[in-house]
Chain A
Amino acid sequence: MPKMKSLLPLAILPLTAIGLTVFADPLPPDATYRPLPTQPFSDVKRMDEAQKPDVMKRQQALFNQRYDMSNRPLPGVMMSGGRKPVQGGVRVKLPAGMTWERLANMSPDEIRQRNLFPEGFKPLPHVKQSTGGQVFPTNQIAEIDRLEQRDLRRFDVDFDLPDHLTPEFPPPIFLTTHPELGDVSRGQVLSFRNYYEIMNGIITPVQMEGLRLLLTPFPQEEFNQTEDRKVAAPSLGVACLDCHTNFHSNAAFHLTPDVRPQSARFRLDTVSLRGMFNQQIHGSKRSLRSVEDFTEFEQRTAYFNGDHVSATRKGVNLPDRPNQVAMMAQMQNIIDFPPAPKLDSAGRLRADKATQQELAGEKVFFGKGRCAECHVPQTSFLDNNMHDLKLERFYRVGEVANDQVVIPDGPIKTFTLRGLKDSPPYLHDGRLPTVADTVEFFNLVLGLKLNQQEKEALTAYLLTL
């Protein structure tokens, strides 16, 4: 092509040809691929450690500006294992002098032009956006250290959410193959050291081998041997269930592998693997079509940010599709949702069990709230589709918060609402701390104009799921 360009006078080329030949001028060389480190490990570690207090203070300032982070449990509402209360109240802060009602009566254009969109509804940055990578909560770090003497602590950042705004730990495990047993976790965190004893006699040999692989650590972008690792000693790596603790989530987070450049990548809050047997598309953006596909590729995405070149450098594990991947998937596919005693087999509230308020909430869910158009109760509150909520109608694109450039989210997979109360924080990046926040969010974004009574009923209903 470049040869052709010099032979033909530009003026007679159609514009498409100009597009091909002339706009080939490059963006910077490290805009797509992960740049190689330029400094020795010891220097990087020293500087990272020195930056860390400021990094953490900056993120806490952002949280306090956006949310009420206090510990205010809902009286009498516990997560499924009975270990942690569910937090209540709307936690996203409003701009000074604003009310939710007045805001809901404004048009998206007006909200954007007057800069009134609540900051907590905007994308949530990674604790250190420029580096990104996996960050584990303190309880997981301590458990894995105790059980396996494997270090999941980073020297450049700490986990940024307070414990009361994350899922209970350890979360219970429910199996589709043994509904009669209830929680089979024995109150422990499944790890390489204890899984066999805990699951022996309950699962099949194939599932057991899948579980072993899901608990086997492999090299990961920040946890490996190279000089751009973020763990002090050369690391054994990360296991799948280090984030999906007991097949649920411990709110560990990282950056989406699906977007570049680095500053525009959005945060990803670990999803629960409960009830995944009914889900047809996987990943908030990737829309992979099977649990097998996701399991096979997670080692290049969650592990290596979607950069297979970096993966090769640090030591990638490529599980064998017909054997290992199949077994890992079959283990994941027997993980059930937590029980929801008020729901019938089609996902509808049972009138004999639900309260008047919950039933009123279900009505809103199907009617004025339009929720059931995407969260279809009969199919595990999924529609197996991605939807673009077009949040950018409400805010200025291109603004930067803690080094994250805010771009539109675009289409995101519909999340299930089963077991919702067990899996804070909410949305793909965990930007919403409570269930009540999700109600205010959808009320504004879908332009529903729900009244206070309807919002409270809807919240009560969501807590029964």
Chain B
Amino acid sequence: MNVKTIAVVVGLFAAGPLFAQQGNPAGMMPGNVEAKPGTPAPGQYNPQDRLFIQLAGMGNLGEADAGRLADTKASHPSVKAFARRMVADHSSTNAKLADIAKQRNLSLPGEPQPDQKAVKTHLETLNGLAFDQAYLRAQLIDHQKTVQLLEWEISNGQDAPLQRLAVDTLPTVVEHLRMVQALLAETTGAPPQGLAASQDGAPPPR
């Protein structure tokens, strides 16, 4: 075993078997520089990574915008608390995303996704329980899509720090999804669905 392979093995164990992504090279960016054969050099991304930065960046902005609106307009204290958590969590992820993008000379989008903007316009017209429910229903779809997006980047991206960010963020986004499901049950009276049906979990923030 030469020195280089030892370093790799140690690296693997240090990070636990959880890490060191192994992508399908069939989907790598042609012409990328390789750190060692089969492993893209740091900062080498493929079109999926780039699309991920766009979509995740817009999504985070939209989440934070909607959260700020809900923090002022929501009637249910649990919904308000959830909204504040959305602002905090999605802003912090977006800062990390911005760091990675900057190192690659890419810029993050400056606006939310069009569908998020349309929903926000709609939410601005609602009040009380109707607002809470409409906000939560939109959050449900948003978080379902974000989970899919993160899973997709984990499968199809190649840029290690970006994929690591997706891996680190996913359990939190899944937890957000569970919270939305629990809050929807609470505010609509319908039985909980999805993860909220099988995980009692920590009570939603009050």
Contacts and interface: CB of A to CB of B under 8 A. Distances in A.
A112 B198 CA distance: 12
B170 interface: yes
21 contacts: A13-B122, A15-B134, A19-B137, A24-B115, A30-B152, A30-B156, A35-B156, A47-B25, A48-B25, A50-B37, A50-B38, A51-B25, A58-B20, A59-B17, A61-B17, A62-B17, A112-B199, A390-B198, A398-B147, A400-B18, A405-B151
Nearest to A65: B17
Given A25-B114, A30-B48, A393-B199, A403 B36 contact: no
Counting from the closest, the 9 A-B pairs by CB-CB distance are A50-B37, A398-B174, A50-B38, A262-B155, A47-B25, A47-B38, A51-B38, A37-B26, A398-B171
Interface string B137-179: 1000100010111011011100000000001001111110000
Interface string A384-399: 0000001011001111
Nearest to B146: A27
Contacts of B155: 129-130, 261-263, 403
B113 A130 contact: no
B26 A39 contact: yes
Contacts of B37: 46-47, 50
A39 B115 contact: no
Given A18-B122, A47-B38, A23 B151 contact: no
A48 B175 CA distance: 35
Interface string B28-39: 111000101111
A447 interface: no
Contact of B22 (A39, A43, A55, A390): A55
Contacts of A128: 22, 24
Interface string A329-356: 0000000000000000000000000000
Interface residues of B, number: 62
Contact of B151 (A10, A53, A261): A261
A96 to B, nearest CB: 15
Contacts, number: 169
Contacts of A99: none
A18 B8 contact: no
A36 B162 CA distance: 22
Q: Which of A23, A35, A46 is most buried by chain B, counting CB atoms within 10 A of its CB?
A: A23
Contacts of B151: 261, 263-264, 405
B148 A51 contact: no
Nearest to B31: A39
B201 interface: yes
Contact of B121 (A10, A23, A398): A10
Looking at chain B's contact residues, the main secondary structure is helix
Interface in A206-238: 227-228
Interface in B10-52: 12-13, 16-18, 20-30, 34, 36-39, 46, 48, 51-52
B200 interface: yes
B113 A38 contact: no
B1 to A, nearest CB: 10
Nearest to A11: B125
A38 B9 contact: no
Interface in A2-42: 10-11, 13, 15, 18-19, 22-25, 27-28, 30-31, 35, 37-39
B27 A400 contact: no
A11 B12 CA distance: 53
B98 interface: no
Interface in A304-346: none
A397 B173 CA distance: 10
A251 B9 CA distance: 28
